[in-house]
């Protein structure tokens, strides 16, 4: 299992989280319904257990269990909805964090490119000045050599 250099997570965990995100985008309704069904079933089992312990009275006990369970169904739905909302908020926070990280990386890359361009321009100007100075020195040497020999020198200076 190789560690990812960007965030330090092991690659299989990162793949798992990506799959989780895909599931949440497409299957959160199933999640909410499943949680609601599980909670309702647990409460139904608990209500039956309580009635059996209190002494089962046939139809009257069945009516009490059904009434209690039907009162709990909206509560179970609310709990499932809250859990789904928490999941949605986590995904929203994750998306915004990822977006901020990408924006910061893009900004850093742009700043680095701008800095590199300024540095390259400054180096280019310095190289250009050094090259011009070498041309002027070579021109001056040729001019002084022609002057020393008494020959005419008609070559224009490199600065023109």
d(CA 42, CA 79): 13
Identify the bridge partners of residue 3 per DSSP, sorted by sequence position: 10
Contact 32, 53 (CB under 8 A): no
Nearest to 41 by CA among 80, 79, 76, 78: 76
Contact 1, 10 (CB under 8 A): yes
Walk along the chain (160 residues) and give the pLDDT tens digit of each residue. Answer: 445 555 555 557 667 767 777 777 787 888 888 898 999 999 999 999 999 999 999 999 999 999 999 999 999 989 999 998 898 888 888 888 888 888 888 888 888 888 888 887 777 777 877 887 888 888 888 888 888 888 888 888 877 7
Q: What are the structural domain ranges in the chain?
A: 11-113
pTM of the full predicted structure? 0.54
Strands, E assignment, the chain: none
């Amino acid at each position: 299992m190789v560690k990812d250099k960007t965030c330090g997570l092991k690659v299989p965990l990162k793949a798992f989280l990506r799959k989780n995100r895909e599931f949440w985008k497409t299957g959160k309704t199933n999640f909410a319904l499943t949680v609601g069904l599980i909670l309702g079933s647990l409460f139904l089992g608990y209500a039956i257990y309580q009635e059996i312990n209190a002494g089962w009275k046939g139809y009257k006990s069945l009516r009490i269990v059904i009434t209690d369970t039907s009162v709990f169904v909206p509560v179970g739905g609310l709990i499932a909805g809250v859990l789904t909302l928490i999941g949605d908020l986590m995904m929203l926070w994750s998306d915004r964090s990822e977006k901020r990280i990408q924006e910061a990386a893009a900004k850093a890359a742009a700043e680095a490119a701008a800095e590199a361009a300024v540095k390259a321009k400054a180096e280019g100007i310095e190289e250009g000045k050094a090259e011009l100075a070498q041309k002027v020195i070579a021109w001056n040497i040729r001019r002084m050599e022609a002057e020393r020999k008494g020959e005419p020198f008609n070559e224009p200076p490199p600065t023109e």
